[in-house]
Amino acid sequence: MARTTTTYVCQSCGATYGRWQGKCESCGGWNTIAEESVAATGVGGAPVKGGAKAGKGRGRAFALAGLDGMNDQAPRTETQVGELDRVFGGGLVKGSVILIGGDPGIGKSTLLIQASARLARMGHRVVYISGEEAVGQVRLRAERLGLTASPVELAAETNVEDIVATLSEGPVPRLVVIDSIQTMWTDTVESAPGTVSQVRSAAQVLIRFAKKAGSAVILVGHVTKDGQIAGPRVVEHMVDAVMSFEGEGGHHFRILRAVKNRFGPTDEIGVFEMTGKGLREVPNPSELFLAGRDLGAPGTAVFAGMEGTRPVLVEIQALVAPSTLGTPRRAVVGWDPARLSMVLAVLDAHCGVRLGGHDVYLNVAGGLRIAEPAADLAVAAALVSSLSGAVLPADAAYFGEVSLSGAVRPVAQAAARLKEAKKLGFTKAVVPEIARGETVEPGLSVQAVTNLSTLVADIAASGVARGKPGSPGDD
């Protein structure tokens, strides 16, 4: 009979302790440590019998290989979902394990059943294992999406040993979808499904199968209230790629973002639109994010950004209003609040734009989240435009990083940003000075700025020319 050992594991971060305590020293959480029993295993995962200590057996020697030689890995297999293949880095890699997380109801299962159906129609064996829904419920979703004719193999099971035994029979599956990893459990851990030990152990069994058999495995993960994938963070280190499926409740589009990818670029995104027939690919997300923008209102600027290798144009909206509070409000949606505070400080210190008595509201239209500092110039232009009442040119795009000295610093991939702006009909771009040497599309006028004060003066001058009273520095 296998001997069990008792440990105390934090259900938030996965830290283990020899005894119970109220606070986790690793993550600082209170009352998150729970008792868990784990069966002691010996060499090869076999249970230890007769009280023998683990690790007593001798290991098995294995062959070593050099860096040279033929690579036996098969090329990537495309799922025929273009946006999904883009985020994966060109398709599924043999033996890879991918973790996809997202809010409940965001469309994770819908996306994966669509990708499974397309891959199965290409002649590959695809297995979809659901731990949350019955087979009949998965069939109902497939019927709604019009995918019932696809030869996808379905099962509703949660024991990973039974799953691996079933997958090992017959041809090797090209893709295995596990929905979700929090519902899986293994016999080697005596705790409830969803606990840290069960999630970690079940993921290890599935990863071992993927590497040995050569199947691509996609694990669906739940998320916590703050958007992080639930379970121990060690699972994110164990898998080959981590994807985040994002979307706002008031918008109909969804974004699949690569957080980690051993076989492709990180920070790559795929854009989908939720329709009655499932998720539809959006090949040109810039048109989606710029649709319906108000061309005659002050406080709006178009930012030419980069998401991985894809240029994306989004609208930055700013509202500056006099404040009646002792401490003015700073509300930000879709951007870093600390970055906004820095831009406001630079405008105050080096450009004479006094915003200490004003409330500032900043929004990235469409619900997209921007992380790169290249949006500094567009944000500054929108703020000054809202304060002065000057309307920025509707056919102008902005990008550039603002330093603490007020200088506008160059950013990467300026040529791709300019090409995307020209493709969408923009005729002017306000960019850093060094971007002047980049390849400029015919018909696109480039205005290079070296200092933020130059841009502020140009916007203020256009406001005076249009008959707007006052200047950006007036309170």
Q: How far is C-alpha 125 from the geometric centre of its chain's CA atoms?
A: 28
Per-residue pLDDT averaged across 394-400, rounded?
94
Question: Do 90 and 131 sit in the same domain of this protein?
Answer: yes
pLDDT per residue as tens digits for the range 332-342: 999 999 999 99
Q: Domain tally for the chain? A: 3
For residue 346, the cross-strand partners are none
Task: Supply the DSSP symbol for 435.
Answer: G
Is residue 58 a part of any domain in this protein? no
End-to-end alpha carbon distance in the chain: 79
* C-alpha R_g of the chain: 27
Question: Do 241 and 331 sit in the same domain of this protein?
Answer: no
In this structure, what is the dihedral angle of CA atoms 252, 364, 241, 220, given to the nearest 10 degrees? -40
Question: Do 226 and 332 sit in the same domain of this protein?
Answer: no
Q: In the listed set 259, 283, 307, which residue is the last one of a domain according to the structure?
A: 283
Question: Do 276 and 322 sit in the same domain of this protein?
Answer: no
Q: In the listed set 226, 250, 283, which residue is the last one of a domain according to the structure?
A: 283
pLDDT class of 174 with cuts at 50, 70, 90: very high
Question: Do 304 and 438 sit in the same domain of this protein?
Answer: yes
Question: Do 325 and 383 sit in the same domain of this protein?
Answer: yes
Half-sphere exposure of 416 (CA within 13 A, CB side): 11
d(CA 210, CA 29): 34
Task: Supply the DSSP symbol for 335.
Answer: S
pTM of the model: 0.77
pLDDT class of 268 with cuts at 50, 70, 90: confident
Is residue 69 a part of any domain in this protein? no
The pLDDT of residue 264 = 85
Is residue 53 a part of any domain in this protein? no
Q: Which amino acid is at 113?
A: I
- The backbone torsions φ and ψ at residue 316, rounded to the nearest 5 degrees and listed phi first, read -95, 125
Residue found under tokens 């960019």: 431
Is residue 74 a part of any domain in this protein? no
pLDDT per residue as tens digits for the range 212-244: 999 999 999 887 666 666 555 778 889 999 999
Question: Do 103 and 239 sit in the same domain of this protein?
Answer: yes
Half-sphere exposure of 234 (CA within 13 A, CB side): 18
Is residue 70 a part of any domain in this protein? no
Question: Do 252 and 398 sit in the same domain of this protein?
Answer: no
CATH of the domain at 444: 3.30.230.10
pLDDT per residue as tens digits for the range 96-114: 999 999 888 888 999 999 9
> Which residues, in sequence order, are CB contacts of 373 under 8 Å at separation 6+?
339, 401, 402, 411
The pLDDT of residue 43 = 42
Structure tokens at 240: 């080959």
Per-residue pLDDT averaged across 391-407, rounded?
94
Question: Do 166 and 98 sit in the same domain of this protein?
Answer: yes
CA-nearest of 320, 342, 294 to 388 is: 320
Q: In the listed set 252, 283, 314, which residue is the last one of a domain according to the structure?
A: 283
Question: Do 106 and 205 sit in the same domain of this protein?
Answer: yes
Question: Do 319 and 240 sit in the same domain of this protein?
Answer: no
Beta carbons of 340 and 362 less than 8 angstroms apart: yes
Residue range of the domain that includes 314: 292-465
Question: Do 299 and 267 sit in the same domain of this protein?
Answer: no
Is residue 318 a part of any domain in this protein? yes
